[in-house]
Amino acid sequence: MKKLLLFSSVLCLAYASESTPQTTENYRGYNYISIGMEQIQYEEDITLSTGVKVHSKARASSPVYISGSLIRVNDTFDFSIDISSTLLPKQVNEKWYTDGNLAQQNKFDALITNMQFLGHYKITDNHRILAGIMYKLNSFKRYDFKDENGNPILDTNTGAKIGLTEERVATLYAAVGYGFESTPFAKPNSIRYKFDLLAAHAIWNEATNTGFERVVFDSINAYKFSASGYIGYTIYNNVELGCFLNYFKEYKNGVDTASDQHTKWPDNTLSILQGGVSLVWNFSKN
């Protein structure tokens, strides 16, 4: 989770703001669609009342779809929308350790949805201050539970296999950051590049798990950091083909206890790396 894996990537953000009034007056922004892969790594950590440390880890790669647009408001402000979603979650093994020893394993798949709404304050056409909100919905499904020896874990009351559980975490973040673009709109036979850096803090959260009836966690002790880069080439009449790399990291700090004084939501960390290809096109006021 502490490494930034590199593979060729997806999302693309092509700009159509303003460099000089004579060349950009007809350009109102851009749209884009992207397709690629995302790699996620999810970990949980908790220390039990007995002093035993529990750690879990799962890693998966799945196809991802991303789309969005930027709207040029005026000479000072722009507004952007970006949405991404896992297309087909991959089934992987999640392993649980107690004091470093394997204690349990299960199948795991993750569906990640992100929405980002940002205002851009243009210091210049190249340099921007970004501020807005991020919304994310993570769905983690677990099933086929087995002990350290690979034997099915049975319900202590019925003797049946433990079924599927789903954990859903919805979080709204307030975000600020910095953005740079080499040029604000596509130029014929030219290369354009950009990057963004954002930091965010949770302002609302709701976490539930089907394994615990009527238990809801609402801790906002969560943080999110993101970095994205894009490079594209104009292929035809303000249409760009490019590739990008996007990296997100989410932290939820502190173990939260539900109102039943028993069920706990542990520390957790989610890292996401997305990459692939994008098609970007400018749109005009005409």
Exposed/middle/buried for residue 48 (C-beta within 10 Å: 0-12, 13-18, 19+): exposed
Instruction: Give residue 263's pLDDT.
Output: 86
Q: Does a structural domain hold residue 12?
A: no
Q: Is there a contact between 170 and 136 (Cβ–Cβ < 8 Å)?
A: yes
Distances (CA, A) of 143 to 23, 168, 183, 207: 57, 15, 49, 19
Q: Please report which helix (H) or strand (E) contains residue 24, including its range.
A: helix 21-24
- Written as six digits, the tokens of 19 are 């460099």
Domain of residue 143, CATH code: 2.40.128.90
pTM recorded for the entire structure: 0.85
Q: Does a structural domain hold residue 1?
A: no
Backbone angles phi, psi at 22, to 5 degrees: -65, -30
Q: Does a structural domain hold residue 4?
A: no
The whole-angstrom separation of Cα 181 and Cα 31 is 16
- Written as six digits, the tokens of 210 are 């089907």
Q: Does a structural domain hold residue 15?
A: no
Q: Does a structural domain hold residue 9?
A: no
Enter the DSSP assignment of 111. Answer: E
Q: Does a structural domain hold residue 159?
A: yes
The whole-angstrom separation of Cα 46 and Cα 48 is 6
Total number of domains in the chain: 1
Instruction: Give residue 158's pLDDT.
Output: 60
What domain range includes position 73?
A: 21-284
Q: Residue 90: CB partners within 8 Å, gap ≥ 6?
A: 60, 61, 62, 109
The whole-angstrom separation of Cα 236 and Cα 281 is 9
Instruction: Give residue 282's pLDDT.
Output: 83
pLDDT in tens, the chain (286 residues): 333 333 333 333 333 333 333 344 556 788 999 999 999 999 999 998 888 999 999 999 999 999 999 998 888 999 999 999 999 999 999 999 999 999 999 999 999 999 999 999 999 989 999 999 999 999 999 999 998 888 888 776 665 577 889 999 999 999 999 999 887 666 677 888 999 999 999 999 999 999 888 899 999 999 999 999 999 998 887 889 999 999 999 999 989 888 777 888 999 999 999 999 999 998 765 5
Instruction: Give residue 57's pLDDT.
Output: 95
| CA end-to-end span of the chain | 47
Q: Does a structural domain hold residue 13?
A: no
Distances (CA, A) of 137 to 25, 57, 93, 114, 123: 38, 19, 21, 7, 32
Q: Which residues pair with 69 in a beta bridge?
A: 31, 81
Instruction: Give residue 183's pLDDT.
Output: 77
